[in-house]
Structure 1
Amino acid sequence: MTDNGALRKLAVWLRTERQRAGLPYREMAQLTVHSVATLSRATTGERIPRLQVVEAYARACGASVKQARTLWRAARYAEHRGSDHVPTRRALAKIRDPHSMICALHDLYHRAGLMPLDEIERRAGGNGRLPRKTMRRMLDGQTMLSIRQLRAFLSVCEVPETEQAAWEMAWQRAWRRRGLDRQQERQDDAGQEGRLVSDAPLLDLGPRNQRMSPEQRGNSLLANHRADPMGVVGRMTYERLKRESAHAERPRRSRRHPKRGSIQPELDLVWESAA
């Protein structure tokens, strides 16, 4: 017998329900898809049986399947409670950022019995409602669940409806903070680029420039390079025109532009002269 008190409680409950139903293991095996040995091992208390076995055992005995799941989750949580990977439980009202929300969901995952991710995906209904890859990334702290995925996860974990509103409010605060953080990062990146190119002359990339011939565009780039040798704007323009040149080399059927040449030689000449 194990030192896991919750596992002993599960084993005693299973044996009690079988005695109450008065069913031998052979008859129970006929009512389920599991063998006599599998059903018998579930009541020894030596190791935690799979959730599917516990649920089938309870159904065969006419017992509460929900109660069986509750006892199984308690046994799994008690087994991993001493692990360093189990996060501390957080109050939902104090969640304000994505990290806190992920930690709370990680704790819920442990309290729900660390169910295999493919089993979570199946119980969520499949069809991409809660992909196991998304769950894996969330548990690794790499992403947040969407509101639709959160609701599916709460349903799989059998969170009471009275508590689901608090979970959704915590998610909204974390998601709002996530959006503000991303907006600040974009502003910081834009400010950094603005400081780098604030004194650099700009190359005209408007509609008139788009109608230039390859030779004219190469001359325009050369003039811009002389004003801003190896500058940030020049490099960005070079990369952009290089992509446009590669695109122009592909055969196109157009009455207005029946044939477009490449400006790659002019571009290479500009940067070779700067070396």
Structure 2
Amino acid sequence: MGRLTSALAERDKEVRTLARWLRALRERSGLTYSQMAHKTAGFARPVSLATLSRADEGRTVPTWPVTEAYTRACGGSVRTAERLWLRADAGRPGRRGSGAKAMPVAPGAAGAGRALPYVTERCELLVAMRRLRLRAGSPSLRELETRAVRGTVSHLPRSTLHGVLAGERDCTERVLVEFVRACGVGPAEEAEWVAALRRTAGTPPPPPDVHRRLAEAHAEIRRLRRALDGHPAREAGPSGVPRRTDRPTGRPVP
């Protein structure tokens, strides 16, 4: 019970921190909520006066689009807003699994802004995934599921992704790859995500030339077997037809 109470207190603290930061931002800008709403009319997602006024009350966590619009309208740092919002949203009331069974986000994990090559903990990877989704425009789970459709089947079911992003279930390599691809990540960065996932699981990445080395080993084994069986080795001639490399030099014995 004490642990749950502590977690709830930490969650409320992060929500209040975000709210105070937003209020201070508005006060420094000198704008009214009405003026802010007017400025957001030019954004991709306009926000109403009432929604903006609720965003800094500290009772609930505003959605990311609202937080971003509030910040941009007041000329604040979107990067700072993202960091504070991620920490507040990690234990958002109403999020499935936000109670005792949910995977806790380590204090400071979101604020550290840890670069992907240095991610070593599962909570750090989770924060990185949430940040990636934000930077992709906060697509819904349904939209991400649709982006991963090939043929008639989606390789990124939204129920599975919801559990992963909520910290309720482990993220498999296949789910991670489909997720980052749906968020617009290219092949080069995709490999960094997979390496990060393997580090969180304690699995060392395979050598970059492992497949080539395995092929060479298999070829050497086949050569040795032929030698042991008394079959002369063969190599391809100019025309691609195998030829003997150990032709007898004398006449055949009658």
User: With structure 1 as the length reference, what TM-score do the two structures score?
Assistant: 0.43
Answer 1 or 2: which has greater helix percent. Answer: 1
Higher-Rg structure is: 1
